[in-house]
Structure 1
Amino acid sequence: MNIGIVGLGAIGSLWAVKLHQAGHQVCVFTRNTHQQTAQVTLDMDSNNDSVYTFPTNQHDSLAQCECLLVTVKSTQVTQAISPFLPFLPTTTSIIFIHNGMGAVDNLQSQLANFPVYLATTTQAAFRPKPNHVQHTGLGGTLIGPYSSNIRKSNIIKVLNNALAPVHWQENIQTALWNKLAINCVINPLTAIHQCKNGELAQPTFTPTLNLLIQEIVQVMNAVSITTSTSQLTKVINNVIITTANNYSSMQQDVVHHRATEIDYITGYLIRTAKLHDIDIPMNHQLFSQIKHLETKYPIQ
C-alpha cells in the first residue's frame, strides 16, 4: 500500500520502519517542509540493514495515499494535517494516534468526507537522538471509528501484519478514556515533580493519586464509561509499576521546554466535567500547575 506518516517522532518512526519492512511504500511528512529524505535507524543498531531512508514531504504522493497515519502530538494535529486534506482522495483512511482527546474534533468539518479512525497504543518507543528510535516495549494498538458511519477497514490487517497486535475496537471511546485517565494522573504529576513514573508509587503520592482517581471516575461514569475507583486505581498502579523507569511524555516536554498536551489530557477532562456539572478540584490544581510551568520557559 501507499502509506503516509505525518510526524516522525518516536511512534511515527517506529511505524515507518515496520511498514517499510512489511513491503509498503512509505512517505513521511515533517515540519521541515524543505526536507526531501529522512533516515531512521531502529534500535541503535549500527548495521546498514537497520538504517531506513524515506521520501519526505513529497506532496505529489498524497494523490495515491491509501492510508495516512497522523502521529504528531495533540497540540499539533490541526496545523499538521490541514494542508494535506485538499490533496487526499476521500477514500484515504486517516488514523490519528496521539495522547489526549478532543484534538480531532477541531477538524470535524474538514474530515467529514474521509474515513477517520482513532487509535491508542501501548507500543513503547523512544528517540535517544534524532533519526534513531528504540522499540523499548512491546504492546498493542487499538483502532476504532471516529464516527458511527465508519466501518472496519482492511487497513487493520495491514497494520497488524506490520506491528502486531493491532485490534479493531468498535467502541474506541472506552479505550481512549482509559488511556486518558492514566495520562491525567501520571503525566502532570511526573512533570511537576520531575520524576520517573515509578516514583509515584511512593506513599507520599497516595493521597493525591486517590483524589485524582476519584474525580476521574466520576467524569468517566457521567459519559457512560463504566469503571470504579478500585478498578482504575489497580490499572494506574500497574502502569506506574510496569513503566517505573520511564519518563512520561509531559515530563520530557517540560524538560525540553516544549508545549505540553495538558489541554487535551487534563483540559479535556475538565471540559467534560463542566458539561456534567462535576467538581474536580485536584485535576484543576494540576492543570494550573502545568500551565504555570509552561510560562516559565520559551516554548520550543
Structure 2
Amino acid sequence: MTKHRIGVVGAGAIGQLIFQQLSTSTSPLPNKLSVQLICRESESQQQTLFFTNINHAVQHKMITVLGQHTPKIKKLDVIIVCVKAYQVDDLIDALLPTLAQNCHIILLHNGMGPHISLARKLSDYPQMGLSLATTSQGALRSAKWQITHTGIGQTTLGHYSGLALKQPLKEAILEAIPNASWHDHILSALWQKLVINCAINPLTAFYQCKNGQLANDEYKAEITQIITECIIVAKADNVELDDLACHELVYQVITLTSNNLSSMYQDIYHQRQTEIDYISGYIVARGTHHNINVPANTLNLQRIKSLETKYQQ
C-alpha cells in the first residue's frame, strides 16, 4: 500500500492540531498517510506531545519533530505550512531547495498576501503546485508541546496555482481533517475569512475585549464600515462578496466565539508581533493598488501598529 507522505510545518497550536488530526485519524484513506511534524529549528528532536481533544480527553505520545535540515523532508509529497503569515516568506525560502521537485505546498494561516509572492517563486518549480486553506477550528497552546482543541470548525482547501494536488492526497487530507471540504474558488473563501478577521481581530485587540463584546451596538457602525470597505476592495480584485452574507458571517462568529480572545488580542497581550499587515494591512494595500480609500481598515492598521510600537521600544 502506497504511503502518502505529509509534513506539517509549524508547531504552533494549529500546526499541532492538524498534525494530530492527520496522524490519528481512523478513517480508511488516511491509514495510508505518513505524517511528520516539522519545527522551524534546524535539527530534529524527540518530544512528547500532549493533546486534549474536544471531549477533554488527554492524550500524549512521543514523536520525532523534524528539523528543517533533515533529509527526510526531501521525501515529502505535501507540506502544510501552519506558521504566522509574516513567517511564510523566510520559511519557504529556506525549505524550497530541500523539497522534492514535485512536492505540493498548502498554506494555512490567518490573513492574505504570502500566496502572491509564493506563486511567483514557484514559477521556477514547474512540477510543484500551491493550494490555500483556511480553518475556523479553535486550538490553544498552553505550553510549547501541549495544546487543547477548543472549538469545532470548518476547514476549507482549494487550488491556487501550479500543478493540482493529486486526487488521492486530496481525498486523504479531506478524510482526516474533521469538517474539511474542497472549494473550487478558494480565494472567495479566503476573502470571507479575511472579512471576519478584519472585523473582529483588530477591534478586540484595540478595545481589549472578548469577541462577544463586539455584538454591542456601540461597535455596529465601525464593523459595518470595515465590512463595506472589504467588499469594495474584493470586487476590485474580481471577487464578489455578498454584503448581507458577510454581515451575517461576522456576527455569527462573534456569537459562536463570544468567550474567546482573538489571536490578535492575545498577541498584543503577550507583546508579540501580530498579523495585522496581512489582515487590515492587506485591505489597505489592495485598496491603494486600486486607488480605493479604506479609512476604517487604515485606522485599525494604525491602531495595532501603534500598540506594537509601544512594546517594541
TM range (shorter): over 0.9
Deviations, residues 71-105 of structure 1 (Å, cap 9, x unaligned): 00100001122211112112211111001111122
- 1:145 counterpart residue number: 159
Q: Matched residue pairs, number?
A: 298
5+ residue gaps, structure 1, are none
- Select 1:51's aligned residue among 54, 61, 64: 61
Measure, in 1, the Cα distance between the counterparts of 2:274 and 2:158: 25
Q: Deviation string for 1:49-70 (max 9, x for gaps)? A: 5334233216211121111110
Whether 1:2 and 2:11 are equivalent positions in the alignment is no
1:122 aligns with 2:136: yes
> In structure 2, what is the equivalent of residue 262 of structure 1?
276
The 1-side partners of 2:162 and 2:117 are apart by 18
Tell me which residue corresponds to 1:33.
42
8 Å CA contact 1:156, 1:167 repeated in 2: no
Shift of residue 182, structure 1, vs aligned partner: 0.6
How has the CA–CA distance of structure 1 residues 152 and 181 changed in structure 2, closer, same or farther, with 3 Å as cutoff? farther
Counterpart of 1:20 in structure 2 is 23
Query: RMSD value over aligned CA atoms?
Result: 2.0
Cα pair 1:152 1:168 within 8 Å, conserved: no
**TM, length-normalised to structure 1:** 0.92
1:75 aligned residue: 86
Residue type at the aligned position of 2:51: L
Aligned counterpart, 2:121: 110
Q: Give the whole-Å Cα distance in 1 for the aligned partners of 2:60 and 2:47.
A: 14
Give the match for residue 165 of structure 1. Answer: 179
Shift of 1:151: 5.5
Q: TM-score, normalised by structure 2?
A: 0.89
Shift of 1:152: 5.6
Which residue identity lines up with residue 26 of structure 1 in the other structure?
V
Please state how far the C-alpha of 1:254 moved relative to its aligned partner.
0.7
Matches of 2:234 and 2:57 in 1, distance apart? 46
Displacement of 1:248 after TM fit? Answer: 0.9
Q: Is 1:290 paired with 2:304?
A: yes
Cα distance in 2 for residues equivalent to 1:35 and 1:194: 38
| Shift of residue 276, structure 1, vs aligned partner | 2.0
Q: Who is 1:198 aligned against?
A: 212
Alpha-carbon distance change, 137 to 4 in structure 1, aligned in 2, over 3 angstroms: same
User: 3-state DSSP class of the match of 1:78?
Assistant: helix
Please state whether the residue corresponding to 1:185 is helix, strand or coil.
helix
CA distance in 2, matches of 1:140, 1:54: 29
Q: Which amino acid aligns with 2:9?
A: V
- Structure 2, gaps ≥5 residues long: 26-30
Q: Provide the rounded CA distance (Å) in 2 between the counterparts of 1:135 and 1:268.
A: 29
CA spacing shift, 1:36–1:216, aligned 2, 3 Å: same
Residue 86 of structure 1 corresponds to which residue in structure 2? 97
CA 1:180–1:152: 2 relative to 1, 3 Å: farther
